[in-house]
Amino acid sequence: MKAVEPAETCVRTASDDARTRDRVARALHEHGPQSAVALSEQFGLTAAAVRRHLDSLIAAGRVEEVPERKVRGKARGRGRPAKLFALTEHGRDSFPHAYDDLAVAALGYLRETGGDAAVAEFAHRRFAPVEARYQALLAGVAADRRPVELAAALSADGYAASAELAGSGSGQPGQVGVQICQHHCPVSHVAADFPQLCEAETEFLGRVLGTHVQRLATIAHGDGVCTTHIPLTLTTPEPPPSGKVDA
């Protein structure tokens, strides 16, 4: 067996650390803010080891601490809020989005020549084939199961989505709300300048689900996750999704 020189060992250790930090950053990119404990379970590392990598990412300006997001209608457990970690704007920029500048320029030209209405029309046309595909997937699915199935479809399309039970805030018996959380948005940098993209997506989600929906947060506007609230009335015998259901 070839002897490994100390210098070579240091190089390998530094390389391994860099790869692990990239994996941690990618996990935050794809799934949104997470705690050190959750990351340690995901990668089979100790919480102390994950915190060491998080400290390096924070020092590099790629990661920051963020407060635990309170889900409307869902009580938080006792004790101190969990310390969560999320990508900074610099951290998001480290992932490929080569066509963002081109898309912003193209939509900027469209707005200059056709106004905001032209941008809105483009946004609706962009989602038209996706809406048709989702409508076919959800055909015959009970209303209270549609959010879970929709989250699964969104995840398959790269949005890292989940469905989460939450109170509707109406105070009426039989009322329940479900929130669809999208932890990744492939057009967030573009949507920051052109909110018509988010508006068109919200509208098509409502049509696919067959009910009014409300967008509570978006990655494009600085939130850690895109959150869509769906007030539902349970009229089918099938029980609603309980707790968090990962797609």
pLDDT digits (tens, 9 = 90+) for 115-164: 999 999 999 999 999 999 999 999 989 888 899 999 999 988 878 888 88
Query: Does the pLDDT at position 173 exceed 60?
Result: no
Is 6-93 a domain of CATH 1.25.40.10? no
What number of other Cβ atoms are within 10 A of residue 148's Cβ? 20
Residues 6+ apart with CB under 8 A from 86: 28, 32, 33, 63, 64, 66, 224
- 34 forms beta bridges with 85
Domain boundaries, the chain: 6-93, 116-246
pLDDT digits (tens, 9 = 90+) for 95-121: 655 567 788 899 999 999 999 999 999
Residues 6+ apart with CB under 8 A from 63: 25, 28, 54, 57, 85, 86, 87, 88, 91
Query: Does the pLDDT at position 6 exceed 60?
Result: no
The model carries a pTM of 0.57
